[in-house]
């Protein structure tokens, strides 16, 4: 909602989206992201040695939850018949929360999605052990928050609240109301550069990083599946060897006896491989979900940067629905592809109800 160029009539469309559509999406977002926060917290508490990926996803769910808690009040801001319409507090809410805090949460959510994907990649490849330390995880989570808070301070200097009055027919007294307007700083080159960097980091750079990491994860899955097929083919060839020779027959017997003792270990390894593969697929799908949600913004900024042209604002506003829905759907991806998430979800629901 921060980079719309008003080149088409958006009044009715914005009202419908913010009053009805996004209200429903926000309620769903509060419900499902709230459950994600409870479930991820339970997983981390019950499994202290679990990877940092779940910690990043917990922090991301917190930011998404705050974002929807802010968005749920948007109808009160746009409702012309409500007592909150164009009051001083409603303008403060818009500038500080709907504009500043929501921008912080959007950027943090994207950066933490990158962090979770990166952690999944280094975990399955057994690389960069220094990135798996608790201190590194805490620095990433707190660092993204601190960086986002500092970067978006320019937005607080871009608006000011002004007191207005208007005369209503058949009334002697005028009605007082408040509006915000752009300051002189908002028209400076510095402010425009910050605004462009906002879009680049949230919708372009973050999306590209997620796409690259997802391609690396897909390459790893393909490689592991090819290796498993070769091993299976090799085992089938060994089973076809003629065991008529007594020495080979005895060796096969000893191998069979040894295999009996390692069946449990192999099954455990197989379960671990399946869990790891499902977790990798989960991360890939959440990355695809993020990409789809930010696709409209990505196209908007690419055309703005490389072709110096802009889409209709209606295109950007309709993409806003797609943007917010992408913060709701991860819950279903976690539920489908992560056994720990499902079991902890059922335990959480039992405790609450």
The tens digit of pLDDT for each residue in 263-281 reads: 454 554 567 677 778 888 8
Non-local (6+) Cβ contacts of 100 within 8 A are 152, 155, 156
Counting Cα atoms < 13 Å in the Cβ hemisphere of 253 gives 7
pLDDT at 351 over 80: no
Mean pLDDT of the 177-196 span? 86
Mean pLDDT of the 95-104 span? 91
pLDDT at 207 over 50: yes
Distance CA 309, CA 300 (A): 9
Distance CA 239, CA 246 (A): 16
Q: Take residue 262 and report the two structure tokens written for it.
A: 């390692």
Range list of β-strands (E), the chain: 159-167, 174-182
The tens digit of pLDDT for each residue in 232-244 reads: 666 555 555 544 4
**Contact yes or no for 87/76 (Cβ under 8 A):** no
DSSP letter (8 states) at residue 202: I
**Contact yes or no for 30/64 (Cβ under 8 A):** no
Distance CA 294, CA 288 (A): 10
| pLDDT confidence of residue 301 | 67
Lowest mean per-residue pLDDT among 30-39, 50-59, 109-118, 317-326: 317-326
Question: Higher confidence at residue 301 or residue 192?
Answer: 192
């Amino acid at each position: 909602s921060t980079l719309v160029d008003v080149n088409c009539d958006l009044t009715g469309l914005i009202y419908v989206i913010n009053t009805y559509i996004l209200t429903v999406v926000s309620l769903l977002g509060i419900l499902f992201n709230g459950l994600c926060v409870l479930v991820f917290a339970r997983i981390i508490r019950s499994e202290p040695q679990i990877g940092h990926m779940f910690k990043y996803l917990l922090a991301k769910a917190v930011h998404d939850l705050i974002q929807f808690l802010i968005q749920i009040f948007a109808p009160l801001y746009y409702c012309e018949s409500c007592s909150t319409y164009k009051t001083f507090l409603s303008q403060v809410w818009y500038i500080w929360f709907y504009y500043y805090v929501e921008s912080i949460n959007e950027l943090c959510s994207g950066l933490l999605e990158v962090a979770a994907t990166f952690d999944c990649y280094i975990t399955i490849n057994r690389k960069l052990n220094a990135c798996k330390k608790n201190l590194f995880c805490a620095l990433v989570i707190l660092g993204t928050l601190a960086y986002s808070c500092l970067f978006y301070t320019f937005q607080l200097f871009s608006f000011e609240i002004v007191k207005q009055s208007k005369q209503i027919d058949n009334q002697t007294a005028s009605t007082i109301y408040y509006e915000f307007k752009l300051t002189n700083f908002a028209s400076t080159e510095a402010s425009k550069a910050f605004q462009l960097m906002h879009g680049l980091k949230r919708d372009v750079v973050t999306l590209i990083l997620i796409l690259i990491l997802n391609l690396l994860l897909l390459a790893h899955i393909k490689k592991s599946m090819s290796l498993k097929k070769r091993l299976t083919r090799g085992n089938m060839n060994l089973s076809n060897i003629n065991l008529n020779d007594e020495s080979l027959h005895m060796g096969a017997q000893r191998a069979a006896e040894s295999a009996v003792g390692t069946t449990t270990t192999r099954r455990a390894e197989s379960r671990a491989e399946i869990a790891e593969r499902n977790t990798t697929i989960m991360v890939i799908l959440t990355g695809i979900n993020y990409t789809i949600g930010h696709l409209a913004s990505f196209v908007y900024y690419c055309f703005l940067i490389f072709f110096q042209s802009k889409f209709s604002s209606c295109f950007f506003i309709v993409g806003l629905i797609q943007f917010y829905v992408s913060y709701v759907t991860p819950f279903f991806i976690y539920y489908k592809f992560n056994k720990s998430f499902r079991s902890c979800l059922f335990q959480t629901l039992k405790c609450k109800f």
